[in-house]
Amino acid sequence: MKTRKCKVLVVGGGPGGYPAAIRAGQLGLDTVIVEGDRLGGTCLIRGCIPSKAVIHAATEFKHAKDYAANQTMGISVKDPEIDMEKMIGWKSKIVDRLSGGVQMLLKKAGVEAVAGWATFEDAKTCVVEREGEEKLKITAEHVILANGSTETELPFMPFDGDIVISSTHALELKEVPKHLVVIGAGYIGLELGIAYAKLGSKVTFVEALDRIMPLFDAEMTKPVMQWLKKHDVDVRLSCKAKGLTEKDGKTHLEFETAEGETDSVRASKVLVAVGRKPCTQNWGLENMGVDMDGAFVKADQQCRTAMRDVWAIGDLIGEPMLAHKATAQGEMVAEIIAGHRRVHDPVSIAAVCFTEPEVVGVGLTPDEAKEAGHETVIGRFPLSASGRALAVNAGDSGFVRVTARKSDHVILGIHAVGAHIAEMSGEFALAVEMGARLEDIAGTIHVHPTMTEAFAESALAALGHPIHIPA
């Protein structure tokens, strides 16, 4: 067995692990990263990036269908068709390019990338099983665990990759399912379900809660519900999936309604999107001596675990299970190891749902601010009053809403819904993180015509003197 000693060992090449390794390499630390699949992790290979590619392709196809039916914007086309194999191939090329880019960046930073599955013998030593090569034992001074998360299965209906599929399977389908049932109306289920509705599937959502997208309030989710209703997407709320059944030779999903009755719906495919769980199995976590916090590895604000010089980041240590959180933590840990003074203490982390329309949330909602004891002022600007939104056919629904403390106008939260609104999430996050006041946003000249003007107008509305809507 070959052996290797290093300063920093990173396990997991996803959006937490590879930035940690790159930053460690930039800081001159002898760093090894081990990844059992492909560099880029779930986000790049089978999550964030490929799903957004499929969502974009589905949206373009929907636009083409609208042009064919209605000559929208004066554009007319003949019956558009979708070739799923070519679309998936296009998506895969994007993934390949980005994964190759990660490999190049690691090399440029002086990081050694090892392909294989790491199993820990103790807190600082792992053995890597490598395909076609002898095993490699790595001992490190510092270990960064970035193992990520995986889809949660229903115990009574495990994934089979055929009828019962995960989000990963949904991104590899070679045909558009005629009847797609999505269990779970959170962000993953809604994003993929809406994409397949655009591609032509008859989509039904089965959600155990009494509303969709529980992270957002009713005002935020209303435009999404309106889109679903307009496009004949069936949403069954307060319904619990029970299992598959056969009726007249066809597969159906059986579920229990809010009234306690049993109902069913036709299903060519059943996409189970009920959440994700941390990857804690089969890599020797039990040999490392770290503490657990329920299903997650317990870590402090510097991502330190109970074991000295063992760090854990990203989905492995809990909510929010977001790629950009993992990236920030990975960079921070590398800098702490190098002797910098850092702590993970963001004011807020933006969350985005790439639904139709898109939804963004940063910081406190009006209700959350009230519950926290704040007296607030709220400004709301509809996208129907935005010239840019109307010019790009994105003004039918949506708005930007800002919540600020009444006493000093410090912004506590920003929430928005609308087409292309995800691209404004960075500005929203920056405003909350920097402790901006309403006057800071209103006094910043926003480019005309852009969607960002809606943010400035929402601040003006909270101050009581908007320009493009009545005060």
Ranges of each domain in the chain: 2-46+88-150+277-337, 164-274, 351-463
Report how far apart, in Å, the C-alpha atoms of 43 and of each of 56, 69, 164, 165, 256 are: 16, 36, 22, 18, 33
DSSP annotation of 320 reads S
CATH code reported for the domain at 164-274 = 3.50.50.60
From the list 326, 328, 287, the residue with the least C-alpha distance to 310 is 287
Q: Is the pLDDT of residue 149 over 90?
A: yes
CB 61 within 8 A of CB 54: no
- Nearest CA-CA partner of 330 in 349, 312, 310: 312
Asked if the model's pLDDT at residue 256 lies above 90, the reply is: yes
Closest CA to 443 of 433, 432, 429, 457: 457
State the angle between helix axes of 48-70 and 187-199 in degrees (0 to 180), rounded to the nearest 10.
40
Mean pLDDT of 58-65: 94
**Tokens matching residue 411:** 């912004």
From 142, 324, 448, 465, active-site residue: 448
Check if the beta carbon of residue 25 is closer than 8 Å to that of residue 2.
Answer: no
Tokens of 445: 């000249």
Give per-residue pLDDT as tens, 32-44.
999 998 999 999 9
Residue 448 catalytic? yes
* Strand bridging mode 250-256 / 136-145: unpaired
**Average pLDDT of span 116-145:** 96
φ/ψ (deg, to 5) at 235: -120, 115
| CATH topology agreement for domains 2-46+88-150+277-337 and 164-274 | yes
- φ, ψ for residue 344 (rounded to 5)? -90, 100
Query: CATH classification of 351-463 is 3.40.50.740, yes or no?
Result: no
Q: Give me the helices (H) in 274-363, please.
A: 323-337
For residue 93 the two structure tokens come to 């090329």
The whole-chain average pLDDT of the chain stands at 96
Q: Does residue 72 register a pLDDT over 80?
A: no
156 pLDDT above the threshold of 90: yes
Closest CA to 233 of 253, 262, 206: 206
Beta strands in 12-135 (DSSP E): 31-35, 112-115, 117-122, 125-129
Closest CA relative to residue 331, chosen from 18, 13, 8: 18
CA angle 356, 359, 365 (to 5 degrees): 150
CA proximity to 223, closest of 111, 382, 13? 382
For position 274, what pLDDT does the model report?
96
Which class for 345: exposed (0-12), middle (13-18), buried (19 or more C-beta within 10 A)? exposed
Tell me the pLDDT tens digit for each residue of 174-212: 999 999 999 999 999 999 999 999 999 999 999 999 999
Say whether pLDDT at 71 is over 80. Answer: no
Of 5-19, 71-85, 114-128, which range is least confident? 71-85
Instruction: Mention every residue, 6+ apart, whose C-beta is less than 8 A from residue 157.
Output: 164, 241, 243, 244, 270, 272
Compute CA distances 169 → 252, 270, 318, 450, whole Å: 19, 11, 24, 37
Mean pLDDT calculated for residue range 279-293: 96
How far apart are alpha carbons 16 and 149 in whole angstroms?
12
CA distance 1 to 116: 14
Query: Encoding tokens for residue 292?
Result: 């657990």
Residue 149 and residue 15 in contact, taking contact as beta carbons nearer than 8 Å:
no
H-only helix segments in 338-437: 366-371, 387-391, 425-433
Give the whole-number percent of the chain exceeding pLDDT 90.
94
The whole-number average pLDDT for the span 248-255 is 94
Q: How far apart are the first and last CA of the chain?
A: 74
| CB 68, CB 122: distance < 8 Å | no
For the chain, counts of helices (H) and of strands (E): 13, 24
Q: 2-46+88-150+277-337: what CATH class?
A: alpha beta
User: Above 90 in pLDDT, residue 162?
Assistant: yes
For residue 74, is pLDDT > 90?
Answer: no
Q: Which amino acid is at 411?
A: I
**pLDDT at residue 69 tops 90:** no
pLDDT in tens, 211-246: 999 989 999 999 999 999 999 999 999 999 999 999
Q: What is the rounded radius of gyration, in angstroms, for the C-alpha atoms of the chain?
A: 24
Handedness of CA 183, 189, 194, 199 (dihedral sign): negative
